[in-house]
Amino acid sequence: MAHTELDLRERRVIEDMLNATMPVSKIAVELGRHRSSVYREIKRNRFADDELPYLNGYYGMVAQKAARDRRARRRKLIRFPELRKAVIAQMMEGWSPEQIAGRLQFEGRRPRVSDETIYTYVFGPDGQSAELARHLPSRRKKRQPRYARRPSGLVFPPDRSIHQRPDHVKIRETFGEWEGDLMIFERAQGNANIASLVERKTRFAVLFRNNERSTTHLMNRLMTVMEPLPQPARRSITFDRGIEFRNWRKLEPGIGTEVWFCDPQAPWQKGSVENLNKRARRYLPRDTPVAALSNRNMRAICDRLNGTPRKCLGWRTPTEAF
């Protein structure tokens, strides 16, 4: 859905409902906007005067003028052709928007321009038609949100470290402790990949295909595959710190499975699944057309892996041990 700024009618509705002491959540429902948008509007365009504090408040017409003036400032590079030419010339020399804005301030030149204004122009319609983004140090074609929300807490917190994993998991004492990984294929195969899981005690292997590498898709598929197992058979999974596992928090409330993570750059800490991947590569080399593999193909590979006797199991097969 395209972003649309509030108009004068909406700002007058906000003013009237605030005067009626209506909560912001109800104002947002009335306008069909997210409540954070309304909060931000009130905060940014609220009138305040230290000399006449009794007049402080939100006024629709005042807010509309403030928003209009702010948009005009953002369009400074359109209103001043000479400034625009100078900024573009410096960008083509390899200067970053921050360097350009800082140098203008250092030289005391007028009019000045902020780095945020330069970025807004570069990623706006005029800048995109001139392909100015290719002159940025990052050469990024799309703007990253300046004040994007960041997830609360670490993606892989210390209390989920493999060093906090219970000893009974480490010594393979209990059944239902798994290791997981992602098998990646040649770029020509696109984003298709195969997730690999192995139960640590019995070495029972599960492989399933993914058509994309997004963490949401992977975790949803993993829960679908693991859910038919009884709860004691899916106690925990140990992953590495790949970004494809960053939605790990869905597993415990979803299927009751705890998650642990290896140290950075330490795949050997989940040696069982690394070993499984090497064995699976006999049947799934890197040039395998993964998208063409059917569920029947995947089951056949799993059956072959799980039907092979293993020395660590006293020459039983993983299927027999499972």
**The predicted structure's pLDDT at residue 207:** 95
Contact between 226 and 255 under an 8 Å Cβ cutoff? The reply is yes
Contact between 268 and 245 under an 8 Å Cβ cutoff? The reply is no
Tell the residue number behind the tokens 């049947």, with chain if given.
283
Contact between 163 and 270 under an 8 Å Cβ cutoff? The reply is no
How do strand 177-183 and strand 193-199 relate by DSSP bridges? antiparallel
Grouping H, G, I as helix, E, B as strand and the rest as coil, residue 266 is coil
Contact between 185 and 290 under an 8 Å Cβ cutoff? The reply is yes
**The predicted structure's pLDDT at residue 320:** 92
Contact between 8 and 61 under an 8 Å Cβ cutoff? The reply is yes
**The predicted structure's pLDDT at residue 74:** 61
CA pair distance 145, 143, nearest whole angstrom: 6
**The predicted structure's pLDDT at residue 143:** 63
- The mean pLDDT of the chain is 87
**The predicted structure's pLDDT at residue 152:** 46
Contact between 284 and 301 under an 8 Å Cβ cutoff? The reply is yes
Amino acid at 212: E
Burial 194-210 (b: 16+ CB within 10 A, else e): bbbbbbbbbbbbbbbbb
Segments of the chain scoring below 70 in pLDDT: 1-3, 72-74, 138-153
User: How many Cα neighbours within 13 Å face the side chain of 258?
Assistant: 14
**The predicted structure's pLDDT at residue 145:** 58
**The predicted structure's pLDDT at residue 194:** 92
**The predicted structure's pLDDT at residue 284:** 92
Handedness of CA 125, 131, 135, 139 (dihedral sign): positive
N-to-C CA span, the chain: 49
- The domains of the chain, with CATH numbers, are 8-74 (no CATH), 76-133 (no CATH), 158-320 (3.30.420.10)
**The predicted structure's pLDDT at residue 32:** 87
DSSP states along 290-304: GGG--HHHHHHHHHH
Amino acid at 165: R
**The predicted structure's pLDDT at residue 163:** 93
